[in-house]
Amino acid sequence: MTDKNKTDISTLGEFGLIKHLTENIKLQNPSSLKGVGDDCAVLDYQDKQVLVTSDILMEGIHFDLTYCPLKHLGYKAAMVNFSDIYAMNGMPRQLVVNIAVDRRFSIEDIDNIYAGLRLACEQHHVDIVGGDTSSSLTGLVISPTCIGEGEKGTIVYRSGAKDTDLICVSGNLGAAYMGLQLLEQEKTVYSEQLKEGKNNIAFQPDFAGKEYILERQLKPEARRDIIETLRDANILPTAMMDISDGLSSELLHICKNSNAGCLIYEERIPLDYQTASMAEHLNMNVSTCALNGGEDYELLFTVDLANYETVKNLKDIHIIGRITKPELGCMLETRDGQNFELKAQGWNPLKQQQ
Amino acid sequence: MTDKNKTDISTLGEFGLIKHLTENIKLQNPSSLKGVGDDCAVLDYQDKQVLVTSDILMEGIHFDLTYCPLKHLGYKAAMVNFSDIYAMNGMPRQLVVNIAVDRRFSIEDIDNIYAGLRLACEQHHVDIVGGDTSSSLTGLVISPTCIGEGEKGTIVYRSGAKDTDLICVSGNLGAAYMGLQLLEQEKTVYSEQLKEGKNNIAFQPDFAGKEYILERQLKPEARRDIIETLRDANILPTAMMDISDGLSSELLHICKNSNAGCLIYEERIPLDYQTASMAEHLNMNVSTCALNGGEDYELLFTVDLANYETVKNLKDIHIIGRITKPELGCMLETRDGQNFELKAQGWNPLKQQQ
């Protein structure tokens, strides 16, 4: 970000920068009446219900620019918000993005963040309709808000799971967490080489055979396809969440909100080969990683038992257990048949930095 | 914020903190179907259109905690967003607030920010329906998003002003900027006393007779009353904005978006006595302060000339000039009858810190 060929943001000013970033945006959705350029965006949702989700992503807390390219960061910031809309069985339609940057950042850097935001929006048919851009004394902040639509009667909350429902997850779990471990490991190697005075060597991180877990961390994909698959199969989940903090944590939310218990089977938790391989390399228990590793952005949902025959054949959807009576608690049955109580050990963004 | 009796945020954790902050929130608006506690808030706007506005407020850029109490900061963060909704002739209904805090902040500090947010929301009948809370490496960040409703056909954009329309402003201008100057001045005095080793004296800033400009800076009020006054008088503005960056800057936006010129009269710009008095004390031109000082959050709007008799009698609304043909430019007529071109010299949040 310190390249001398880059352009200082102050050359454009606030309105110049907003114009530069947004002038080529064409609104795609009929619900987007007015985008950037007035005091508010104006939307018309007609007979649809409106879903709103918002995040704040802080440099040094949620991302590390040592290994996270700005374009990927923009992409991920949008994607994690789309994921929250899908988790309500809705469709994302508009995105508002607030960004604050310090002096390290040039116009080209913000262009890169926007390139990632735009790519994510194109893929998910979402319009960028507004956003505030400011300077920061230290560090990059991205705060996206996504607005989406839900059909009346088909919005899925966390609270609808009931005894005997099947518990399902999409894709596989723990991969993003293993990707993060890999990046942290390479960062440590790199900084040790720097300490040893080898600062003019070309650092070559070794990512061969680990591309998948790396991509899961740096470029997560919100599971629109799963929402479409379920609709096509005429299945309305009884409860749903996206997995941002880890399977255990999310499942406990669903059980608490639904006043239910659950039983999931360790052997049913879907894992990718690279996730298992990386966990073994790090001497970590892969199931623990899959249960507690965050940022997979897969969907966790429950469906009525009557859907069993249909669900078990759906692509990339895995039945991992069932909802039980609340007095039975939230349990994990291990590969060797033992039962343990599920605990939320997911990532805590409020853990104070020492 | 460094009081030892205060409670460390990590004692609650993310979900505990969200629960602590939001458990007493009762949703007031029929359009708020589901607030905090799921992946998204769920809203139903039926036949209304949806207005969305969002800001990012950075410590050291937008506010200085040396003199801005946290409760006031929360109040202001909400209020500036409500103001954007009123500026579209809409009514704010929901607020989503993202907050990031560093290690200096305790639970009681966040409670204070929330107390300000809640007070603003109560006064304007707005529901807090969500928000993300995170830690920060350095500095406080508040990023609020407000959602409001507009009636079809009565949403007022920046682009509707036409030749001969009257230009009106609410309240008076420059007061918030003078309040900021006062606070900065007292901060300088205080830090000089500290430098001289007088760090155990009780510092008594001298605010007597300056309470109004201080309050305009620290506790701005969004002009819901003006929107209601105009509705009651059956007047629909042709264009409208709120004045956050300064009258000149906002008026240039309206003229540019409406493809129009304007002529305003210096003598018509409404000023408070304390604003004029402070400007004189600082040897500043009060009109320059009123034209370019930001953060007044008054409404600037244009109305058809046919409304003249009605508008001139409306409480706290001032006619300051008229819209002209675009080729005549954007002009200010001074008290001595000279004409100058209006220039935007408002505050630039992207000016890089040195």
Fold of A166-179+210-341: Phosphoribosyl-aminoimidazole Synthetase; Chain A, domain 2 (3.90.650)
Q: Which residues of B118-153 are buried (b: 16+ CB within 10 A; e: fewer)?
A: bbbbeebebbbbbbbbbbbebbbbbbbbbbbbbeee
Domain ranges of chain B: 9-150, 166-179+214-341
Give chain B positions within 8 Å (CB) of A258.
none
B134 touching chain A per CB within 8 A:
yes
Model confidence at A82: pLDDT above 60: yes
| Best of B52, B95, B301, B354 to mutate (most A CBs within 10 Å, chain A) | B52
**A5-60 confidence digits (pLDDT tens):** 788 888 887 778 888 998 888 999 999 999 999 999 999 999 999 999 999 999 99
Q: Do B49 and A43 touch (CB under 8 A)?
A: yes
Let me know the angle formed at the C-alpha of A295 by A293 and A299, rounded to the nearest 5 degrees. Answer: 100
User: In DSSP terms, which residues pair with A92 in a beta bridge?
Assistant: A148
Q: Which CATH superfamily is domain B166-179+214-341 in?
A: PurM-like C-terminal domain (3.90.650.10)
Exposure string for A58-80, b = 16+ CB within 10 A, e = fewer:
bbebbbebebbebbbbbbbbbbb
Question: Is B1 a residue whose pLDDT tops 60?
Answer: no
Q: Which helix (H) or strand (E) holds B281?
A: helix B273-281
Show residues of chain A in contact with B353, CB under 8 Å. 102-103, 135, 137
Q: Is the pLDDT of residue A128 over 80?
A: yes
Determine the straight-line distance between the first and last CA of chain A, rounded to whole angstroms: 27
pTM of the model: 0.93
Q: Does A84 touch chain B (CB under 8 A)?
A: yes
**Average pLDDT of B283-290?**
94
| Mean pLDDT, residues A279-295 taken together | 94
Tracing tokens 């988790």 back to the chain, one arrives at A87
Q: What residues form DSSP beta bridges with A91?
A: A149
Provide the shortest C-alpha distance from residue A202 to chain B (in Å): 30
Nearest chain A residue (CA) to B97: A54
Rounded CA separation B294/B347 (Å): 7
- Whether the CB of B150 is below 8 Å from some CB of chain A: the reply is yes
Burial of B241 (0-12, 13-18, 19+ CB in 10 A): buried
pLDDT of the residue at A11: 83
Residues of B (333-352) whose Cβ lies below 8 Å from A = 348-352
Which residue from B55, B158, B350 is facing A17, i.e. has the nearest CB?
B350
Cβ B87–A39 below 8 Å, yes or no? yes
A61 vs B38, B136, B155: nearest CB: B136
Within 8 A of A223 by CB-CB distance, chain B residues are: none
- Residues in CB range of B102: below 8 A, 6 or more apart: A353, B135, B136, B137, B138, B139, B140
User: Which phi-psi region, left, alpha or beta, contains residue A151 (left: φ > 0; alpha: ψ -120 to 50)?
Assistant: beta
Scanning B90-109 for CB atoms below 8 A from A yields: 90, 94, 96, 98-100, 102-103
Q: Looking at chain B from residue 224 to 243, which residues have their Cβ under 8 Å from any Cβ of chain A?
A: 240-242
* pLDDT (0 to 100) of residue A17: 86
A72 pLDDT more than 80: yes
SS3 state at A267: helix
Predicted confidence (pLDDT) per residue in B216-239, tens digit:
999 999 999 999 999 999 999 999
Q: Are the beta carbons of A100 and B61 separated by less than 8 Å?
A: yes
Distance in angstroms (rounded) separating the CA atoms of residues A336 and B317: 77
B41 HSE (CA, 13 A, CB side)? 29
What CATH fold (topology level) applies to the domain B9-150? 60s Ribosomal Protein L30; Chain: A; (3.30.1330)
Q: Do β-strands A32-34 and A41-43 pair in parallel, antiparallel, or remain unpaired?
A: antiparallel
Contact A96 B8 (CB under 8 A): no
Q: What is the pLDDT of residues A134-171, one digit of tens each?
A: 999 989 999 999 999 999 999 999 999 999 999 999 99
Flag if B141 and A56 touch (Cβ within 8 Å). yes
Residue B216, CB half-sphere, CA atoms under 13 Å: how many? 28
Chain A residues in contact with B37 (beta carbon < 8 A): 158, 257
Alpha helices (runs of H) in chain A, residue ranges in sequence order: 13-22, 70-86, 107-123, 175-195, 211-218, 224-232, 247-258, 273-281, 286-292, 308-311
Query: Do residues A296 and A179 lie in contact, with contact meaning Cβ atoms separated by under 8 Å?
Result: no
**Which of B56, B60, B138 is facing A98, going by the closest CB pair?**
B56
Place of tokens 């002096």: A103
Distance from the first to the final alpha carbon of chain B? 27
Q: Report residue B350 as tokens.
A: 């992207």
pLDDT tens digits along B289-300: 999 999 999 999
Tokens (6 digits) for B190:
């205080």
B157 vs A: CB within 8 A: yes
**Strand A166-170 with A141-150, pairing:** unpaired
Contacts of B84 in chain A (CB under 8 A): 39-40
- Give the per-residue pLDDT at B18: 85
Return the pLDDT at B353: 38
Q: Which two tokens stand for residue A189?
A: 């190697």
Amino acid at B186: E
Q: Where residue B344 falls among pLDDT bands split at 50, 70, 90? A: confident
Give the pLDDT confidence score for residue A319 in this predicted structure: 98
Instruction: Give the range with max mean pLDDT: A198-207, B14-23, B305-314.
Output: B305-314
**Residues of chain A positioned with their CB less than 8 A from the CB of B299:** none
pLDDT value of residue A88: 98
Query: What pLDDT does A206 receive?
Result: 75
B246 touches chain A (CB under 8 A): no
Report the complex ipTM: 0.92
DSSP one-letter string for B119-185: HHHHHTT-EEEE--EEE-SSS-EEEEEEEEEE-TT----SS---TTPEEEEES-SSHHHHHHHHHHH
| Pairwise CA distance, residues B327 & B67, whole Å | 45
Q: With beta carbons less than 8 A apart as the criterion, state whether A335 and A267 touch.
A: yes
Average pLDDT over residues A86-103: 97
* Strand A127-130 to A166-170 pairing: unpaired
- Encoding tokens for residue A97? 């993005």
Q: What is the pLDDT, as a whole number, of residue B262?
A: 98
DSSP letter assigned to residue B350? T
Residues of B in contact with A129 (CB under 8 A): 52
Give the pLDDT mean for B87-101: 97
